Amino acid sequence: MIDLLKFIFPHNLTCSLCGSQLDLNYDKPLCQICLGSLQYISDPSCMICGKLLSRKRAFSVCETCIILDRAVDRGTSLWIYDDFIKPLIYKYKYKGHTYLYEYFATCLINRLVALDLPFEIDRIIPVPCHPRRRKRRGYDPVGGLCRALSKKTGLVLDDHLVRVYHTPKLHGEDACSRAKILESAFTYKGELSGTVLLVDDIYTTGHTMNFCAKALKAAGADYVVSISLCVGSDQ
């Protein structure tokens, strides 16, 4: 199915956002104008989720992350999840535009390099998709993204973090409801050590990342670094 989708959605013909024609030798899925219109995360930003912070703020953690019982030790995101980027994320997440994996993975690597972490990452762990949802979509977008990331970095891709039960879609749920829904939703099958990179596509309230990180810490992980493609501008 995925191979067929590559023919249905060739990624070297038009911009994935505006549809403008691209040069055949151009190696990105977005034209230069659309690339320049993405809202990249810059400093100062929250050291847990990547949300932009006011330069007047005394702390390096946003208000949303402060109130979490945080298990993530360090985190970041690439872009602000605004109306401009939403169609691109929708294509990747729901429409099988898997050619975006390679570009997204490269962007994630560049962001991690810019963080200049004081420790080595030992493995990559995707936020898991429940088998029922994966079957309905026909693919796992975060898992596919992590495979591309593993291939580019040489880091081990670890898929032992699992979603214990199928949770409803969280879009529209407030932070309290999300926490109740996601509590005990994740577990890690086995034992861990060292530093893990936890990957997701959209960081909203942070509860998904946080409960995943707690499961990884319970399994023995020493440090959890999280990264997401997008973070909401107002959580």
Tell me the domain boundaries of the chain. 39-231
Assessment of whether the complete model's pTM goes beyond 0.85: yes
Residue 36 has phi, psi (to 5 degrees) of -75, -15
Give how far Cα 90 sits from Cα of 16, 29, 83, 200, 202, Å: 11, 14, 11, 14, 11
Strand-pair partners of 52: 45
pLDDT, average across residues 106-134 = 90
What is the pLDDT at residue 131? Answer: 78
- Per-residue pLDDT for 13 more than 80? yes
CATH number for region 39-231: 3.40.50
Pair of tokens at residue 27:
């190696």
pLDDT tens per residue, range 18-43: 999 998 888 899 999 999 999 999 88
Query: Looking at residue 159, what DSSP letter applies?
Result: -
